[in-house]
Amino acid sequence: MDAMATMVPSGNGHQSVFGYTSPGVLSFDDKQTPRSHSKVELPTTVDDISEGEILDARPYALPPRSRENKVLPEDFKTPDKHVERDPRLIRLTGVHPFNVEAPLSDLFDEGFLTTKDLHYVRNHGPVPLVDDNEVLDWRFTIEGMVEKPVEMALRDLLEDYEQLTYPVTLVCAGNRRKEQNVVRKSKGFSWGPAGVSTALWTGVALGDLLARAVPKRGAKYVCFEGADKLPNGYYGTSIKLSWAMDPERGVLVAHKMNGEVLHPDHGKPLRIVIPGQIGGRSVKWLKRIIVTSRPSDNWYHIYDNRVLPTMVTPEASANLPDTWKDERYAIYDLNTNSAICYPAHDETVSLTNGPEMYKLRGYAYGGGGRRVGRLEVTLDQGKSWTLASITYPEDDYRLAAENEILYGGRLDISWRDSTFCWCFWDLDIPTTSLLEAKDVMVRAMDDSMNLQPKDMYWSVLGMMNNPWYRVVIHREGDTLRFEHPTQPGNIPGGWMERVKNEGGNLTNGFWGEKFAGEEEVAEPEPVREVCMVNKGVARTISIEELREHGGEDQPWFVLNGQVYDGTKFLDGHPGGAASIFGAAGQDATEEFMTIRKFPVHSENAKAMMPEYHIGTLDEASIARLASDGDQSPESTEPRPVFLQTKVWSKAVLSSKEKVSPDSKIFTFSLDHDTQTIGLPVGQHLMMRVRDPATGDAIIRAYTPISEDTETGRLRVLVKIYYDTPQNRGGVMTQTLDRLPLGQTIDFKGPVGKFTYLGKGKCAINGRERQVRRFVMVCAGSGITPIFQVLRAVMKDKEDPTTCLVLDGNRVEEDILLKPELDAMAEANADRCKILYALSRPLSSWEGLKGRMDKALYQREVGGPPDTRDVMVLVCGPTPMEDSVRTVFRGMGWSDDDLLFF
């Protein structure tokens, strides 16, 4: 191929290289082609072609027109504030990172080719920012086991190599995962059936680039690494070298999508496109191609995109590194799958004046180049099947004229046997047949006779879900209503959720339907919604007025668009005044609603809110509050202190240490080695994680066991409350336990109403108090705030304060931090006394036996002294705290002397 690019003047006076103009806006141009190929005069843009001209001139379709999008308000506060997006896309993992799919009907209606607007997106972190004038200079390398390592710019890729254009369907391995998450939560978020899209990709054959670098003998894999910096390094993965070199597999290093420079969400300016394999192998923002003898050791290659054996639970998977590294469980080729798109979810059809025939429609795809050969429909739950008609739009592109250039690349797949795109099916059904059926289901089979299974294969990551796609039919008066299995992300609805909520067993082989002899399950009691507003308040508040009350004098905060004055609640808030100050001038909905989902806080906290309700934030201010973020941007300079009261800060999970059968110390790496935590003794911090199945925020308060002198790391002792046959375990603790190393967690703080200042001086909600003795009562993981204060007292040899610790547990191995506690007691025998009580001790236990009760408290503590210089600090399970409150009040202690963490 000629090393010189064909240069033609672009409209702005700059030279254009195969449709790229620099500097300025990047365009696409069909008329430019390498010299070794004959030029074909084609329209410059899609806008220049009418639908009729497309049909007359070409056997294949061009993409539908893209929309004019803009940066959305919800992205203003994220690292993706430079990315324009379509508001129709459904966010599956909160605001950031951006993981989305289109509404299924909108996706299907676009046809064979999907615009950049509705193409699904799977991002693990921030989208790299690449300005238009930097695109041609974007550099990447080919390295590793090669004779001639290569470093080149995108400009070189355009000038020196043949450009190709292929239609390719990309599918996320998590497509349809929501169905698995309804059955049992996996470690992945909830994709619906629209994690699939098709585009025309233009680029260079990967095999051509590897041939230039000349792989060495013994090389067997090609690894890819992107520019997206993530908690576990840069995103990367690998495929076999033989696949990469095989023209039949059509692997591209792509720089255009549907004739446009890649959209930032889709890899601008350069990505890998691997037809027939899961989307997770098609690395975006490509920076490195590494030839190796072994599969990639990248964290994301090992701990993502795998189907582990179905018996591996989320809990067990966190401690099975060899299982994760087993390449037998890695996913490459897609499996056969299909879905029903019409009838849509909640679509209705009239039985009186509706059509006599209804056209069922949907999509199907195979993997590894295999073609879907049949699509079958059943109206009687698999007793009989009917063949649907299938259309293969990809075949139209095989009819393109020889050497035809499309979007700067040669369109030639006429010689290829492989099928790399989805197909569409349809079947006309009499409406009366739908009336007589409970449901309609579909299954596909590819040309290797791989058939979609009837039943789900659940796995810990929720990947490759492809059982028969089932739509339930409801007769409602004179209409039929259709119900899909699920709705994507956090959107409620679908027969699977309904059946599960009604007590049905989704794994019984009958889609959760009851059958003779199955026990009836009582309907769940409806949840009573507590009113949180004062209906007599009609005041409208602007964001400027809200921000005027963003300090500690009169802290206002927002819940669900309503404004509350927290001044009266500063003394009474269980999290202390710092919790209110941290929310001042902010939208605190997520923290409030998430923490109060569990019984200790929920109804009582909500019922109190009308007392503090002062008005409603106006609509413009609500939008500004969502987009403005904090009043001043966070500095890019390294912070000396990690915790911030109004902003969530990220730390990386670096290790887990098991210290008891159900407790672990989680260690998090801070921003830099010299960074301090910034947590006063006696205070707590808030931890936020995202439920991997729903994307919901889970927020809880914890007291770390890190010393105040530690830097660069944060250690938190957590008791894991596992699910049992009788009870559901802790959502937060089990989610934490399932997180892989390298995952980021959000922290905010400090919060809490108690602070130990040293030498017997403490502060409760800012009011100082001098004590000479602490009585510390705790149980289980309630030891952590007690331990923090006790350590501070004992560490200062000049501190005269004495401490009595009463620590209750079931068995000896449940006693947390016992070596550290015993060491402090031994070194400070004159100031520290620790008593352990076990409710289920072994015969060899020599300490206190039985639960901590009134007799113990009377014997070891007794009534309050006249001097009121003793405080009782309490932390443990609610029943224990209630018992302490009752007993100590009965012994004459006042509430001012009892502090419950």
Q: At residue 9, what are phi and psi to the nearest 5 degrees?
A: -65, 135
pLDDT at position 584, please? 61
Q: What is the pLDDT of residue 608?
A: 75
Q: Which segment of 29-43, 325-339, 387-401, 595-609 scores lowest on mean pLDDT?
A: 29-43
- pTM across the whole model: 0.66
CATH number for the domain spanning 704: value is 2.40.30.10
Q: What is the pLDDT of residue 577?
A: 46
pLDDT band per the 50, 70, 90 thresholds, residue 537: confident
Q: What is the CATH number of the domain that holds 392?
A: 2.60.40.650
pLDDT tens, position by position, 828-847: 999 999 999 999 999 999 99
Q: Is residue 721 part of a domain?
A: yes
CATH number at residue 888: 3.40.50.80
Q: Which residue has the tokens 């792989």?
A: 215
DSSP 286-317: EEEEEEESS----HHHHSSSB---TT--HHHH
Domains contained in the chain, number: 4
Distance set, CA 414 to CA 124, 207, 398, 424 (Å): 36, 19, 4, 20
Annotated binding site: which residue ranges?
Answer: 172
Catalytic residue among 30, 86, 123, 172: 172
CA distance 282 to 305: 12
On whether both 428 and 457 belong to a single domain, the answer is yes
117 is catalytic: no
| DSSP-derived secondary structure letter, 78 | S
Kindly state whether residues 354 and 495 are assigned to the same domain: yes
What is the three-state SS of 131-199?
CHHHHHHCEEEEEECECCCEEEEHHHHHHHCCCEEEEEEEECCCCCHHHHHHHCCCCCCCCCCCCEEEE
Element (H, E) at 168: strand 164-171
Least confident among 49-53, 89-93, 128-132, 434-438: 49-53
3-state secondary structure of 513: coil
User: Does an H or E element contain 882, and which?
Assistant: helix 878-890
pLDDT at 886: 92
Which amino acid, residue 501? N
The DSSP output letter for 432 is: H
Q: Rounded to an integer, what distance in angstroms lies between the CA atom of residue 773 and that of residue 141?
A: 66
CA 892-896-899 angle, 5° bins: 100
Give me the pLDDT at residue 569, please.
59
CA dist 35 to 3, 11, 161, 439, 759, Å?
Answer: 9, 21, 11, 57, 84
Alpha carbon distance 480, 431 (integer Å): 9
Annotated active-site residue 172? The verdict is yes
208 part of the active site: no
Does residue 144 contact residue 291 with C-beta atoms inside 8 Å? Answer: yes
- Residues 813, 894 within the same domain: yes
Confidence of residue 404 (pLDDT cuts 50, 70, 90): very high
* CB count in 10 Å sphere of residue 808: 26
Scan for tokens 């504030």, then name that residue. Answer: 81
Q: Domain check: are 758 and 875 in the same one?
A: yes
Annotated binding site for Mo-molybdopterin: 172
Mean pLDDT over residues 635-662, rounded? Answer: 84
Same domain membership, residue 556 and residue 472: no
Confidence of residue 871 (pLDDT cuts 50, 70, 90): very high
Domain stop point among 751, 781, 812: 751
pLDDT at 788 over 80: yes
pLDDT at 530: 66
Task: Give tens-digit pLDDT for 316-332.
Answer: 887 788 999 999 999 99
Say yes or no: 397 and 411 in one domain.
yes
Return d(Cα 778, Cα 834) in angstroms, integer. 11
Q: In the beta sheet, which residues pair with residue 666?
A: 656, 716
Show which of 702, 736, 751 is a domain's final residue.
Answer: 751
Which position among 181, 298, 305, 809 bears the catalytic label?
A: 305
Give yes or no: residues 482 and 597 share one domain. Answer: no
Per the model's pLDDT, the better-predicted residue between 425 and 651 turns out to be 425
727 and 801 co-located in one domain: no
In terms of average pLDDT, the best of 105-109, 637-641, 749-753 is 105-109
- pLDDT given at position 866: 83
For range 188-195, the mean pLDDT: 95
- For 506-516, the pLDDT digits (tens) are 998 899 887 55
Structure tokens at 625: 């509050």
Is the model's pLDDT at 540 over the cut of 60? yes
Is 460 found in the same domain as 374? yes
In a domain, 509, yes or no: no
Last residue of a domain, one of 686, 716, 751: 751
Q: Is residue 853 part of a domain?
A: yes
Say yes or no: 675 and 810 in one domain: no
Tell me whether residue 848 is in a domain.
Answer: yes
Say if residue 702 is in the same domain as residue 846: no
Centroid of chain to Cα 549:
34
**Residue 581 falls inside a structural domain:** yes
pLDDT over threshold 50, residue 424: yes
Q: How far is it, in rounded angstroms, from Cα 444 to Cα 448?
A: 12
Give yes or no: residues 478 and 341 share one domain.
Answer: yes
What is the pLDDT averaged over residues 251-272? 97
State the pLDDT at residue 690: 74
Q: What is the CATH number of the domain that holds 602?
A: 3.10.120.10
Catalytic hit among 304, 691, 696, 737: 304
Q: What is the pLDDT of residue 41?
A: 33
Angle at 162 between CA 158 and CA 164, to 5 degrees: 95
Domain with 575 in it: 540-628
State how far the Cα of 274 lies from the Cα of 336, in Å rounded to an integer: 17
* 317 located within any domain: no
Indicate the pairing of strand 372-378 with strand 405-406: unpaired
* 600 belongs to a structural domain: yes
Q: Is residue 303 part of a domain?
A: no
Q: How far apart are CA 155 and CA 95, in angstroms?
A: 35
